[in-house]
Chain A
């Protein structure tokens, strides 16, 4: 079975959970066997893992015919793509795109981020998708998140193959209800054109059905999973202060993640015990506000901010924690509690997180229930049995949440839309 996937992020260059999920799913599907996956991303860096999917960069795909020789192509894009693919793609340019700014290879530049001109990038991405869809044979098209829906729709119109869109988040999650009309339009368009919609949790499924008016039989939930931790990460040993417990918040410090509840919890717990430290790791538009709030609550001596953590630092932070907290107001899935569980850190998550639907060995509370969260933190740091039980049972549980299972479910959905 040949699948053409459109994504926006791919590890190791990721900004959020989307990249991790796309990567894990693709790899899991590959493990299920008999899958030939082409994965399109705006801007590959050349250090992406290969072998389970054929990665094509949108910024390496010509949309304007340029007469360039093999060595030039190889020099410029050789480390991310086979030059022959370039020529194959070049044979399928379908319209005159000279009005767009292109480079010497006739390719459009992409930032691959979430820049201010994102709508323009999305549009360009779907132009490129037209070339790719004409070149790469496929049985089914799969678009990851709203940025790639227009590309998916375009590819569907060209090839006539069924389109599956994967909703990793909706704008209702990101904006706490203040939806951007442009984003909503693109999302709604994608859902209308899709032959089937995959959501990462029942929570998101409900949003898709209720807020976007999609028929429930077209929407299926495939919960995310988690990649096994690499040995390198498992081997990290962090120094621990036995007299002081560490409670961690890790993620973007934005409205969606509910950081203010974490500060309130910290204030409550610190009123009762002193042998605990709270750490807010990450950055975001609410960071300064949180620093002020912590100072206002008079807990700044026990409340630390680390700023943005990348790569290994994330796991170092997790490994030096005793409790992980995710008080997200609305989290379509939320993969980080699973990672915390993998390294043996008990987690407290909000019931408004998609991952709460599949996890048992975590404490689940409402995001606004500061009292309940404070109780849970106190319990984990005070009663050793609670800590040990959550740690051990958590590891056991999370090891059974595998991408292969999610991949198999997606393949079943492919079969259904292709009427195989």
Chain B
């Protein structure tokens, strides 16, 4: 039995507005709202919405035999909620059929997996929460930003409890092996690896309407014929592509929707089924182990991470960004956290790519900037302002560990205060029963936590010291310790 696994990616970054060096420290809004709205609305109208309708039709016509998976980044979801709310509804409707699976990824479509494991894990959780909130299912299969994958990442993903990972069937990794099987990562034997069949995927994504291609025109019949004639035993064909392939990269006029709609019928003729990644993983067994030392991705000819971290501009920006990661995690400012997410989107680094300017055509197609240098300048200006804001939250002079300790103290204090409150109440109750004391003590005790603890030990000395900030923690600690004794 042979099965096809379709998975579509939806992602749009929050593009930055032209942010001048004068704005550093003055203007804390970074986004080009007009452009972002214009782009997401255009793509939604031309691609996402009609494609959703087409898929729904396919699922209904085939009697729920057609299956599909989506990976929607958190930042894209935010934009869609804001600018194209009807898309969320349409997605929910699609999800209701039970033939749609949502995949896990990083919330910000970030490259955190390459730099910061803690951030990575946080983001995956944040993303899955959002998906669960919107569509009512918790993702079980993981796919990383731009299909970036390595043994190290596999181990991290496995530790989060995912059963499957989706990545690129890069030739330099597979060698003679076929992507049409399941594999397992060298570092996580329990996880199953699904590899993109890039030849067949790109036939649709890039070549579908290319007159110069010798297989033009591509029909559903022909396409299913190719899949049908694959060697015996190759059980799964993974067709992974960006969702705007349907309607944007291949416009509606090319007949892409007609092609898609005809697929289930021809598949049925050849006895080929459709599955979601979870189904594939539960049904099929891995045939071999694959080891990937250097990260791979689905971009460019090299299929590595050089499109985002290839030159020193990208590396510098990337390092600067993650140098404040720990600090940002300690902050509780919502806007700061939001900017932190938006700034991590891999797209910002993609715009800075200078890999052979000739090939840059593909890169510049998506870039709002004229050149990589402009992209870098703008991003760094924004990042400089962001870092200033992070530093404003906590002074630069305190080391991360120290800061961490202080914050823990503060957080623990809250819990301790609660405990002490109860103790105090019970003590008072006891005291009230045993001997009636002055009721005037109640008033100052309600005001602050530290003084509250105080009455139990030495009421007159401790209370005034608790006013100063750093001293407060210390005295509070002391007070609590004393209280505990």
Given contacts A364-B371, A375-B381, A379-B381, contact A272 B21 (CB under 8 A): yes
Given contacts A271-B22, A371-B20, contact A384 B316 (CB under 8 A): yes
Q: Name which residue of chain A comes closest to B358, CB basis.
A: A360
Q: Cβ of A385 and Cβ of B381 under 8 Å apart?
A: no
Identify whether the interface residues of B are mostly helix, strand, loop, or mixed: helix
Alpha-carbon gap, A382 to B313, bound state (A): 13
Task: For chain B, residues 332 to 383, give those with C-beta under 8 angstroms from any C-beta of chain A.
Answer: 354, 357, 370-371, 373-374, 376-378, 380-381
**Pick from B22, B312, B354, B381: contact of A268, CB under 8 Å:** B22
Query: Cβ of B44 < 8 Å from any Cβ of A?
Result: no
Min CB–CB distance A372 → chain B (angstroms): 8
Alpha-carbon gap, A376 to B376, bound state (A): 10
Given contacts A271-B22, A363-B371, A379-B21, contact A386 B381 (CB under 8 A): no
Query: Cβ of A383 < 8 Å from any Cβ of B?
Result: yes
Q: Cβ of B357 and Cβ of A379 under 8 Å apart?
A: no
Alpha-carbon gap, A223 to B374, bound state (A): 25
Q: Cβ of B313 and Cβ of A386 under 8 Å apart?
A: yes
**Pick from A374, A379, A393: contact of B354, CB under 8 Å:** A393
- Which residues on B sit within 8 Å (CB–CB) of A385? 312-313, 315-317, 376
Q: Name which residue of chain B comes closest to A351, CB basis.
A: B370
Min CB–CB distance B17 → chain A (angstroms): 13
**Pick from A268, A272, A363, A382: contact of B373, CB under 8 Å:** A363
Q: Cβ of A378 and Cβ of B21 under 8 Å apart?
A: yes
Measured as residues with beta carbon below 8 angstroms from the partner, the interface class of chain A is: 20 to 34
- Which residues on B sit within 8 Å (CB–CB) of A364? 370-371
- Which residues on A sit within 8 Å (CB–CB) of B400? none
Query: Cβ of B293 < 8 Å from any Cβ of A?
Result: no
Query: Cβ of B311 < 8 Å from any Cβ of A?
Result: yes
Min CB–CB distance B287 → chain A (angstroms): 44
Min CB–CB distance B161 → chain A (angstroms): 38
Q: Cβ of A272 and Cβ of B381 under 8 Å apart?
A: no
Alpha-carbon gap, A272 to B21, bound state (A): 8
Alpha-carbon gap, A230 to B377, bound state (A): 33
Query: Cβ of A40 < 8 Å from any Cβ of B?
Result: no
Min CB–CB distance A111 → chain B (angstroms): 44
Task: For chain A, residues 265 to 280, give those with C-beta under 8 angstroms from any C-beta of chain B.
Answer: 268, 271-272
- Which residues on A sit within 8 Å (CB–CB) of B316? 383-386
Alpha-carbon gap, A362 to B376, bound state (A): 13
- Which residues on B sit within 8 Å (CB–CB) of A66? none
Q: Cβ of A363 and Cβ of B312 under 8 Å apart?
A: no
Min CB–CB distance B32 → chain A (angstroms): 16
Task: For chain A, residues 374 to 420, give those with C-beta under 8 angstroms from any C-beta of chain B.
Answer: 374-376, 378-379, 382-386, 388-390, 393
Q: Cβ of A374 and Cβ of B313 under 8 Å apart?
A: no
Q: Cβ of A386 and Cβ of B22 under 8 Å apart?
A: no
Q: Cβ of B313 and Cβ of A389 under 8 Å apart?
A: yes
Min CB–CB distance B475 → chain A (angstroms): 44
Q: Name which residue of chain B comes closest to A392, CB basis.
A: B312
Q: Name which residue of chain A comes closest to B378, CB basis.
A: A375
Task: For chain B, residues 367 to 424, give those with C-beta under 8 angstroms from any C-beta of chain A.
Answer: 370-371, 373-374, 376-378, 380-381, 384
Min CB–CB distance A247 → chain B (angstroms): 14
Min CB–CB distance B111 → chain A (angstroms): 17
Q: Cβ of A386 and Cβ of B380 under 8 Å apart?
A: yes
Q: Name which residue of chain B comes closest to A397, CB basis.
A: B357
Alpha-carbon gap, A268 to B311, bound state (A): 29
Given contacts A268-B22, A383-B380, A385-B312, contact A376 B317 (CB under 8 A): no
Given contacts A384-B316, A385-B313, A388-B312, contact A375 B370 (CB under 8 A): no
Q: Name which residue of chain A comes closest to B315, CB basis.
A: A385
Min CB–CB distance A325 → chain B (angstroms): 14
**Scoring A residues 245 to 288 as 1 if CB is less than 8 Å from chain B, else 0, what string do you get?**
00000000000000000000000100110000000000000000
Min CB–CB distance A348 → chain B (angstroms): 9
Alpha-carbon gap, A376 to B374, bound state (A): 8
- Which residues on A sit within 8 Å (CB–CB) of B370? 364
Q: Report, nearest first, the 3 A-B pairs whose CB atoms are least far apart.
A: A385-B316, A379-B377, A378-B21
**Residue ranges of B at the interface with A (Cβ–Cβ < 8 Å):** 20-22, 24, 311-313, 315-317, 354, 357, 370-371, 373-374, 376-378, 380-381, 384
**Assuming A364-B370, A386-B377, A388-B312, what are 6 further A-B pairs, CB within 8 angstroms?**
A375-B377, A375-B378, A379-B377, A385-B317, A386-B316, A389-B312
What are 14 A-B contacts defined by CB distance under 8 Å?
A: A362-B373, A363-B371, A363-B373, A364-B370, A371-B20, A374-B21, A376-B373, A376-B374, A378-B21, A379-B380, A385-B312, A385-B315, A386-B316, A389-B311
